Amino acid sequence: MPPDEHSVRIPADVETPDKILAGLTARQVAILAATGAVLWLAFTATRGLVPLPVFAAAAFPSGAAAAVLALGRRDGVGLDRLLLAAIRHARSPRRLVLAPEGVVAPPTWAQQKQQPLPAPLRLPAAAISADGVIDLDADGAAVVCQASTVSFALRTPQEQAALVGVFGRWLNSLSGPAQIVVRAQDVDLAPLISGLRDHAPTLAHPELEQAAIEHADFLADLARRRDLLRRQVLLVLRESHHGRAGDGAAQRVLRRADEAMRALAAAGITVRVLPGGPATAVLAACCNPWHTTPAGATDQRAAPAETITSAGGWG
């Protein structure tokens, strides 16, 4: 498809800061200008007392540190932001507990050592309803939708253009924040392999039993040789409160999810809102990304407001 003469190329990283002077961003110019101003004031104040070579030697470490701080980057993040993050991390409490009402100091007679009290753990989600609406307290409400995938590389150029057009129309119709998350989790094939080997002797024909055992051996060899991943595409929609809490943010975010279902269905993408149980599982997995997901496992967590019972009774 020939490019349109009026088309505009959009950069891949639309959040790249603007360059305002000599290829430097406003943040970099501010750091270098502030350092230069301080060094210049120090030179003017000590010009009659300290020779220029001595002052240059003393000011060089400060200037070099400011230049490295302003221009250096690690993993795509500026060193000044990493420094601020390190300072915040060093000043933040080390122990956090679930205490929405606050942590009360123990009585003086129970204090054996002067140790800092744990700080309340402030979770962004206050509650999750059965229909999957996540209450973000003062920040509004959100829903997590699971989206299917479509094959883009195998389509013709006309079909690819149609898919891009559908996706672009959905993006242009957004009236609030939206995030597309692609999650990858390690998959544990051990339960599936053991299930195949346990049920192989119960099959009706010896050849079926042999095929099941060979398939279990193939899966075991595959798990040894490869890192198996399970990918999940999530669409997160959020709505803020308009004016005050309880103003219908939950209804608006569900309506936006329904609009996304209809808009993306034209591209062959199936979108569904995760109910309370699966949404809780997704949030828990994001908090613990090192958890291994068994192959074919279903979520066993209780849904919000569901009574937790024991399958084995009290005995």
C-alpha 268/C-alpha 279 separation (Å) is: 23
Query: Which two structure tokens, joined as six digits, stand for 21?
Result: 């002077």
Can you tell me the distance from the alpha carbon of 27 to that of 171, in angstroms, rounded to the nearest whole number? 30
Instruction: List pLDDT tens digits, range 131-169.
Output: 889 988 888 899 999 999 888 888 898 999 999 999 999
pTM beyond cutoff 0.85 = no
Burial class (CB in 10 A: 0-12, 13-18, 19+), 235: buried
Tokens matching residue 132: 């999957």
* Residue 124 φ then ψ, to 5°: -70, -25
Q: Please say if the pLDDT value at position 244 is more than 60.
A: no
Q: How far apart are CA 110 and CA 98, in angstroms?
A: 22
User: What is the reported pLDDT for 111?
Assistant: 63
Cα–Cα dist 311/45, whole Å: 80
Q: Label residue 256 by pLDDT band (50, 70, 90).
A: very high
d(CA 201, CA 158): 51
pLDDT-derived band at 293 (thresholds 50, 70, 90) equals low
Name the band, by pLDDT with cuts 50, 70 and 90, for residue 315.
very low
